[in-house]
Amino acid sequence: MKILDNIRVVLVEPIFGGNIGSVCRAMNNNGITDLAIVNPRPTTDWDDARKLACNAKAQLDARKEFKTLKEALADCTVVAGSSARTGFYRDTAHSPRQFAPIALNSAKDHKIALVFGREDKGLLNEELALCTHIIQIPSSEQYTSLNLSHAVMVCCYELFTAAEVFQPSEEKAEEANSELRERMFATWREMMIQTEFTHEQKLEHMMMGLRRIFSRGKLTVPDVKILMGLAKQSIWAATQGKESREL
């Protein structure tokens, strides 16, 4: 079983169906599929939930529903409750990034849970008492409360990143060697002369500037060939222009 399969997102009495759908989408973005809803409201707009879930409708349909939070957490070891409020018992909160390695260490062999409260008043003290950890998402003092789905996204993203399951794409083109780069610089030097881009006395100074520009990032073989082609075309255009003026 993949480690992300052992992560459960628990929503306690969510108010808005759209938020539930958005949570499904956020979970799927981060490879997490276990959604539990505690005491779903009879007024929940499930059509709105499906609309906001977009391509995560299957995730919404696979949700588990529980009457109490205690039941939703029964098979979990590490349990983290998200709270924006501070105060007694909340001062030992972890950021999602700090909590991620703790969660993943347990998720190797056990089910763990992230618990999120109601949109209007969050988790009650007796609900936080069921949690082994408290998560506080860093935010500006200007507005500390996050939208439910945004809070889920931040927490799931940190777990997904820490799990190191994502493999970013890598540059496949070969890096240009010094010989090829020097050929390119020689072509650009000739282009500066032919286009009269700079005066002779400033030419070497401009070349040093050009070298600094092209040294700030890796140049691949295709990159250098494009740059050489641009310079050669500029030389050709400048030469044609001079010949036309001479005629």
Q: Are 151 and 228 in a shared domain?
A: no
Which CATH number is 46's domain given?
3.40.1280.10
Q: Are 188 and 225 in a shared domain?
A: yes
Q: Are 101 and 204 in a shared domain?
A: no
Q: Are 23 and 103 in a shared domain?
A: yes
Q: Measure CA of the first residue to CA of the last residue in the chain; give whole Å.
A: 78
Give the structural domain span for 146: 3-162
What's the total number of domains in the chain?
Answer: 2
State the DSSP code for 7: E
What's the confidence (pLDDT) of residue 89? Answer: 59
Q: Give domain status of residue 196, yes or no.
A: yes
Residue 16 confidence class, pLDDT cut points 50, 70, 90: very high
Q: Give domain status of residue 172, yes or no.
A: no
What's the confidence (pLDDT) of residue 145? Answer: 84
Q: Give domain status of residue 169, yes or no.
A: no
Q: What secondary structure does DSSP assign to 97-156, as a single string?
A: HHHHHHHHHHHTTSEEEEEE-BTTTB--HHHHTT-SEEE-----TT--PPPHHHHHHHHH
What's the confidence (pLDDT) of residue 144? Answer: 82
pLDDT in tens, 70-86: 999 999 999 999 987 76
Residue 199 confidence class, pLDDT cut points 50, 70, 90: confident
Which one of 108, 132, 162 terminates a domain?
A: 162
Q: Look at residue 239 and tell me whether its pLDDT is greater than 70.
A: yes
